[in-house]
Amino acid sequence: MRLIRAADATAAAAIAADEVASACRRAVGERGIAVIAVSGGETPWRMLEQLRTRDLPWPRIHVAQVDERVAPADDARRNLARLERILVTEGPLARGQLLAMPVEAADLGAAAAVYQRQLEALAGRPLQLDLVQLGLGADGHTASLVPGDPVLDVTDRDVALSGEYQGLARMTLTLPALARARRRLWLVTGAGKRGRLQELVAGTGDAAAVRVPRADSVVVADAAAAG
Cα separations (Å) of 74 from 69, 70, 71, 166, 204?
Answer: 12, 11, 8, 18, 39
d(CA 81, CA 181): 25
Q: Which pairing describes strands 159-165 and 168-173: parallel, antiparallel, or unpaired?
A: antiparallel
What pTM did the predictor assign? 0.95
Burial (CB < 10 A; 0-12, 13-18, 19+), residue 42, is: exposed
Q: Which residues make beta-bridge pairs with 163?
A: none
- What pLDDT is stored for residue 75 in this prediction? 87
> Can you state the angle between helices 44-51 and 9-31, rounded to 10 degrees?
50
Q: What are the per-10-residue average pLDDT scores of the chain (227 residues)?
A: 96 98 98 96 89 98 97 89 95 98 96 98 98 95 93 97 90 98 97 95 92 95 95
- What pLDDT is stored for residue 211 in this prediction? 95
In order of start, what are the domains of the chain with their CATH numbers?
A: 2-226 (3.40.50.1360)
Per DSSP (E only), the strands in 70-190 are 98-99, 131-134, 159-165, 168-173, 184-188
The secondary structure of residue 31, as a DSSP letter, is: H
7 with 223: CB under 8 angstroms? Answer: yes
20 with 187: CB under 8 angstroms? Answer: no
- What pLDDT is stored for residue 103 in this prediction? 96
CB environment 176-185: b (16+ within 10 A), e (fewer):
ebbebbbbbb
User: Which of helix, strand or coil describes residue 119?
Assistant: helix
Q: Which residues make beta-bridge pairs with 172?
A: 67, 160
- What pLDDT is stored for residue 145 in this prediction? 95
Nearest by Cα to 124 from 32, 201, 216: 32
| Phi, psi of 121, rounded to the nearest 5 degrees | -60, -25
| Phi, psi of 218, rounded to the nearest 5 degrees | -130, 140
- What pLDDT is stored for residue 41 in this prediction? 72
> Widest CA span of the chain, in angstroms?
45
